[in-house]
A and B are shown apart, each in its own frame.
Chain A
Amino acid sequence: MNEQTLSRRFFLKVSGAFVALAAVPSTVHAFYQDVKSFLVPPKETLPTTLTINKQPYKVTADTRSTLLDLLREELQLTGTKKGCDHGQCGACTVHVDGQRVLSCLTLTAMLPGKTVTTIEGLADGEKLHPMQQAFIECDGFQCGYCTPGQIMSAVACVNEGHTKSVAEIKEFMSGNLCRCGAYNGIVEAIQKVAK
C-alpha cells in the first residue's frame, strides 16, 4: 500500500469508521493507531481569486500556504520579507483591503475576493510613494530587510492617524522590528510624510 492508493475519500471513510468505533476494545484501538500512523494525508490545493497590486490573480495554492509564501515562492513578489514566520517581527506586513496585515499569519485560503497591496505595488509606476521617498531621504534603513514591512506599516500608521508625537509613532511602529536599529530614520520619515 502506498499513498497513491490511499485516496482522501478512503482516509475519511476509514477515520470516520474509527471515530464511530471509539468505544470498542483496546486491541481495535491499537489497530486504528497503527493504520493512522501509516497514513500520510496528501497535499490539497484550493483555487483562490484575489487582487494583488491592482492585478487579478487566480492561484491554486497549497491549502497550507500562507500569503507570505505565496508571494515569495509562487509569485516572485519577494519584496515582502520573512523575518520570523510567526507574527513576531512585522517584516511581512502588507495591506489587505487597506489595513496592515501580517502575511505570515494569513493563509492564502482566507483571501478570496480580497485586495492585497505589497511593497511592489506602492509606487505609482516610476514615481515612488512619498513614504518610500522619505525613507530614502531620512536613511530609514541599513540592511533594508525590515524596510518593506516598515514602509507598509508606516503608510498605515499615517492613515490611522497615529503620528501626533515621536512617542506615538514609536509605539505604533513597535510591531516592526529592526535589528539594525534604524529607528531614528524610520521615525523621521514618518514625521515627514505625516506633516
Chain B
Amino acid sequence: MEFFDNELSTLMPAEGRVEAIAKVTGKGKYAAEYTVPGVCYAVLVTSSIPAGTIKAIQVDKAKRATGVIDILYHQNKPVVPGFADETKIRESRVGLPVFYTDKIYFKGQPIALVVAESLEEATYAASLITADYTAEVFNVDFVKTHPSIPLKAAGKERGTVDEWSNAIHIVEAEYTIKEEVHNPMEMHATIAEWVGDNKVKLYEKTQGVNSVQRVISGLFSIPRENVEVISEFVGGGFGSGLRVWSNTLMAVMASLQVKRPVKLMLTRPQMFSLVGYRPESWQKIKLGADSSGKFSGMIHQAKHTTSVFENFNENITRIARLVYDFKNLKTESAIVPLNLGTPTWMRGPGDCTGDFAIESAIDELSYKLNEDPIALRLKNIALKNDPESGKPWSTHFIDECLEQGATKINWKNRKQTPGQVTEGDWQIGYGMAIGMWTSGRTQASASIVLDKSGTIIVRTAMTDIGTGTGTAMQNLAHESLGMPKNKIKVELGNSNLPPAPSQGGSTGLASLGGAVMDAATLLKQKLATYAAAINAQYKDAAAADILLSENGISYKQANAQFISYADLWKKVDEPTIEAEATSAPGEERQQFAFCSSAAHFCIVRVHSKTGKVKVDRMVCVADGGKIINEKPAANQVSGAAVGGIGMALMEEQQADVKFGSLLGNDLAGYHFAVNADAPIIEVSFIDKPDPNINQMGSKGLGEVGIIGCAAAIANAIYNATGKRLRNLPITPDKVLLG
C-alpha cells in the first residue's frame, strides 16, 4: 500500500498542513500520476451529434495506427454483468450504460475508446475514428422549453396563499442562472488494473473511495473487498467527484479487455460534458410583507435542466423552508429534460441557486420598505427553531455573523438610496446576503495506530479534496492524545482503511472528527490496561487522564509514574497497538435541528461606460461551530467566495440550440474567477462550539462560503447603479442594458 505522503519533517512549520510538503514539492501523487508498470493509455472518441443512434463505427484506420492495442465500442467490449439487460442497467443507477447502448443522448457522449501504448498514439488514433448515425430531433433549449413543463408541489404547503394575497408590500420577479461547470483543476482520471479476473485496483479521482468501491463491485459482480480504490490526493471536486461517471467505468472495462493497467484522463473539453454541472435554472418569487416589514408569505417556484436519460432534481426551493420564518409558504418545482449530460451536485447544490433569488427579492423589498436590509432580515430570520421541523436549532449565530460583518465592512457608510456614490466613471455600492446549510453528519470510521518508536498513524478511507481533512485529523489526534504533531502521520483516501462517507455536502469533518476522537479514547484505554501490568495506579485511569508523548505515556494523577514505550512493549506482543472507532449521529438529531450559516458583505464598483463590475471588498462571517484548523477553514470559505464571484459575474455555459454543442468547452470559453477577479477575501468565524452535533462541536463549512455570495454582489450592483439584475451571470452587457 502506498501511503498518503506526509513525510514527517522538522522543516515543516507547525501551522502548515500535514500534506503541505508533498503539495509544494510536487511529490504528492494524484490519480493519473502513480507509476504502474505496463500501463497503457486510453483516449475517448465522443459523439458528434446530440441525439440519435449509432449506425456504424469505422475503426479500421485507427487500428492501423502505431501502438494501438484495442478499440472498445458498443460492438467490442467486455462483459459487464451490471449492464446485462435493461432492468439491471436501470437498477445500477450509474446513468449512462456506456458501450452498452447504441443510443446517443447528448453531444460529446463517449462512443469509442482507443487503448494504445502511449498517450500520443492513442490521441492520434482516436482522431481517425468516424461514425455514421441516424440522427434524431434534439432539444437543448431550456429557455424555450421550460414554460411548457408544469410545476409540481415541492414539499408541503405552509398556511395558504389567500392569507397574504393582499399584503401591503409585494415583490414579484423572475430569476435565471446559466449552467455552471465544476471544473476542478485536476481532470477526472483513473488508472485501472485488474489482478486476475475478480480483483481490481483503481487509482481514482473521486470524493469518496467507498462509493466507487460499491459501484464497481456491483457492476462487475465481484466482492466489495476485491475492489481497492486509492485517492490519496484529489485535485478538487466541488461535487463532480461525488458520482462514478462513465470515464471510470470505461477505464475498468478497458483494463479487463486488454488485460493490462489502463490510464484514462479526461481532456478539459470532456470535463464539460461528462462529469456533471450545476443545471441552468429559472425561478419565480412572490414575497409579501406587512407594513412593519414582517414577511407575510412567499411563493417560490423553480425549474432546472436534467438529461433525457436521468432525472436529477437538486431541490432549489429547499432553502425557502430553512432560513426565514414563513407562516405561509408555497414551493413548486419541475425538471426539464434536455439532450445534455446529467447535471449533479455542485458546491451548495440547490440552495446556492434558490438563495440567489430569495436574497435578491428580500433586498428589493427592503428598498420598497425603505428599511435597512440587515434589519429587515433580522426581523424575519427563524433564529430559534427550524421553521420546517419546528425543532430548536442546536446553535444558530447568523445574527452575530450579520453584526460582525456589518462592522467589518463599515455598513454605516452605505447609502440607502442607490446610485449616490461615484468615483469618476465608477459607481460604488454596498450589498449583503446570507447563506445557510443544514449541518449533516453520517457514519464514519477512523483508527489510530501507535508503534514502538512512538509514532502515531491516524487512518480513514475519507478523502481530502483540499478541505484539510488530514490536517484536522492530525490536530484532533494531537489534542486528544497529547502527542506532538510531528509524531502524528495521516493515512487516508484508500478503501482498505476504515470506511468513511464521501467528502461532500459539508459533512466530512463533522462526521469523521468524532470517530478520530473516539479512537483516541479507545487507544488510551488500551494503553492504560497494558500500563496497569507495570504500575497498578494505571488500573483506574480514565482515558482523559492519560497523556502520550514521544517517549511514553503518563497519568495525570499525583505521583503516577511515566512509562516509556520501551517498557510498555515488554507487555505487548504485537508490533503496534491499534484502536478503531465508528461514530454516527444519534439521539441528538431527534431533539435538535442543525445548521451552518454565513453573512456575506461586499463593496462593488461598476463602470458606467463599459459595464464592468469589480468586487472591491468581500467580507464573509461564518458560523461553522468550533473551528478545528483556522487557516484551512478560512481558506475554504474564501475559496468558496471566489466561486461566488464567478457565479455572480462570469460563469456561464450555453448550448448551441442549432447543433447541440456546448459553447464553453474549454477554459478560454468558460470563465471562472482568476486571481485578479477577486479581492483579498476577508473571512472570520463566530467559532463557538455546537454542544450537540459531535464531540468537537464543529459544523460544516464547505457550502455556506458560496451560498449568498452571488446575491450579495447583485444587491451591491443595485445599490451602486439602481439596476436590479436578476439573471446570472451579470456580464457587462447586462449591466449596460439593465
Contact = CB atoms under 8 A, between A and B. Distances in A.
Nearest to B632: A139
Nearest to A134: B24
Classify the secondary structure of A's interface with B: loop
A187 B675 contact: yes
A186 B635 CA distance: 11
Interface residues of B, number: 75
A176 B673 CA distance: 11
A147 B12 CA distance: 17
B120 A143 contact: no
B120 A65 contact: yes
Interface stretch (B64-72, B78-86, B299-307): B64-72
Contacts of A178: 185, 639, 675
- Top 7 A-B pairs, shortest CB-CB distance: A79-B26, A181-B642, A145-B235, A143-B466, A142-B466, A181-B639, A144-B23
Interface string B183-199: 11111000000000000
A166 interface: yes
Most chain B beta-carbon contacts within 10 A, residue among A86, A127, A167: A86
B25 A145 contact: no
Nearest to B124: A64
27 contacts: A40-B64, A40-B65, A43-B65, A62-B121, A73-B119, A77-B26, A83-B185, A83-B186, A83-B187, A84-B268, A85-B268, A86-B668, A122-B25, A128-B21, A128-B25, A136-B24, A137-B15, A137-B16, A141-B466, A142-B236, A142-B468, A142-B635, A143-B233, A143-B235, A143-B465, A144-B466, A145-B233
Nearest to B33: A78
B676 A171 contact: yes
Interface string B205-239: 00000000000000000000000000001111010
Contacts of A88: 268, 666-668
B17 A180 contact: no
B109 interface: no
Contacts of A147: 23-24
A71 B59 CA distance: 30
Interface in A112-141: 118-120, 122-123, 126-128, 132-133, 135-137, 139, 141
Contacts of B150: none
A43 B121 contact: yes
Given A135-B20, A137-B16, 13 more contacts: A43-B124, A62-B121, A81-B186, A88-B666, A126-B9, A136-B12, A139-B17, A147-B24, A167-B676, A169-B675, A171-B676, A177-B672, A180-B635
Contact of A139 (B118, B120, B233, B631): B631
Nearest to B186: A145
B675 A136 contact: no
Interface in A27-77: 37-38, 40, 42-43, 62, 64-65, 69, 72-73, 76-77
Contacts of B631: 139
B667 A142 contact: no
Contact of B11 (A119, A127, A148): A127
